[in-house]
Copies of this chain bind each other. A is one copy, B any other.
Amino acid sequence: MIRVTILGRASAKPTAGSHPSAQAVNVNEQYFLVDAGEGVQQQMLRCGINALKLRAVFISHLHGDHLFGLFPLISTLGLYGRRTPLQVFAPHPFGEILEYHLRYFDQNLPYEVQWVPVDTTKHRIIFENRTTEVWSIPLRHRVPASGYLFREKEPPLNVDKGVIDRYGLSVAQIVAAKRGEDITLDDGRTIPNGELTYLPHGPRAYAYCSDTNRSAMVARRVAGVDLLYHEATYADSERKQAKERGHATAADAARTALAAGAGRLLIGHFSSRYRDLTPLLDEARAIFPNTDIAVEGETYEI
């Protein structure tokens, strides 16, 4: 299960009602923060997400509207008495910025903040454990930027209940089958694993792509994701400005979702000029119907 909670979906200029970029991504009860715009810690409180549970933070790029909320969060986790190290994946020179922050504001932080540099030119696994992998996605913005792809590994095989009864499988045989082995019965017959087991579900995947121009390469990197969050800072009428500023239009986001064969598209990072977002949603849906506007406080589940 992957749950994405939108903590902020605004672009750089703040509005009274919305917050800059931030999301909480829950992959099978492992909590990750993706970008950390100003106010992210309060948004987590409002959404009932426990900041102490954060495993790691993934920062797309070093523009303030994606980052300024991280430093207050780091300090607050210290006040909460966090002991577990916190990994922060971010492009260079985040390490220098972090060092400055700790020097002036958190001399005695009770836990370690570990910077993991992200090469924004490479598409590779940057975080991995038994159940989950996170990939970097090179983006095309004014500064080095990386999207992030969260993918479940293949879930453990289930053994068909009916099969267990039919062949009277022992616990040892069931465990072996779960490992993917064929089973030889007492009467000498061998049952191929494919007859005994099945995948409970395919591995799920979620991709976050902000900030970026539309890019065919990005579409290839996120091919087949169940859910894609793609920035849509502008409407099609501003596509020239979008291109120049390293951003995407709603139509750009939809074209990427279409080319990637994504299951569903969420658009966000809206310019503060759009009080009514319906035109952007319409432009995207005309190209990729299963599009929705990312709503702050909402959780989107795969």
- The answer to whether B76 touches A71, judged by C-beta atoms less than 8 angstroms apart, is no
Whole-angstrom distance between the Cβ of A158 and the nearest chain B Cβ: 40
Whole-angstrom distance between the Cβ of A13 and the nearest chain B Cβ: 6
Instruction: Tell me the complex Cα distance, A44–B46, Å.
Output: 20
- The answer to whether B39 touches A76, judged by C-beta atoms less than 8 angstroms apart, is no
Number of interface residues of A (CB under 8 A): 30
Partner of A38, one of B12, B69, B96, B97: B69
Partner of A45, one of B12, B14, B46, B68: B14
User: Which residue of B is nearest A105, CB measured?
Assistant: B64
Q: Among residues 106 to 127 in chain A, which have CB atoms less than 8 Å away from a CB atom of chain B?
A: none
Q: Is A171 among interface residues, defined by CB-CB distance under 8 A?
A: no
Instruction: Tell me the complex Cα distance, A72–B71, Å.
Output: 12
- Given A62-B104, A104-B97, verify A41-B68 contact (CB < 8 Å): no
Write out the residue numbers on chain B whose beta carbons fall within 8 Å of the beta carbon of A19.
42
List residues of A whose CB falls within 8 A of some B CB: 12-16, 19, 38-39, 41-42, 45-46, 62-65, 68-69, 71-72, 75-76, 79-80, 93, 96-97, 100, 104-105
Q: List 8 A-B contacts (CB under 8 A).
A: A12-B79, A14-B72, A16-B42, A38-B39, A39-B39, A64-B105, A68-B72, A97-B100
User: Which residue of B is nearest A272, CB measured?
Assistant: B79
- The answer to whether A64 touches B71, judged by C-beta atoms less than 8 angstroms apart, is yes
Whole-angstrom distance between the Cβ of A191 and the nearest chain B Cβ: 56
19 extra interchain contacts, Cβ-Cβ under 8 A, other than A16-B45, A38-B38? A12-B75, A13-B76, A13-B79, A14-B76, A16-B42, A19-B42, A38-B39, A38-B42, A38-B69, A38-B72, A39-B39, A39-B42, A63-B105, A64-B72, A64-B105, A65-B72, A68-B75, A96-B104, A100-B100
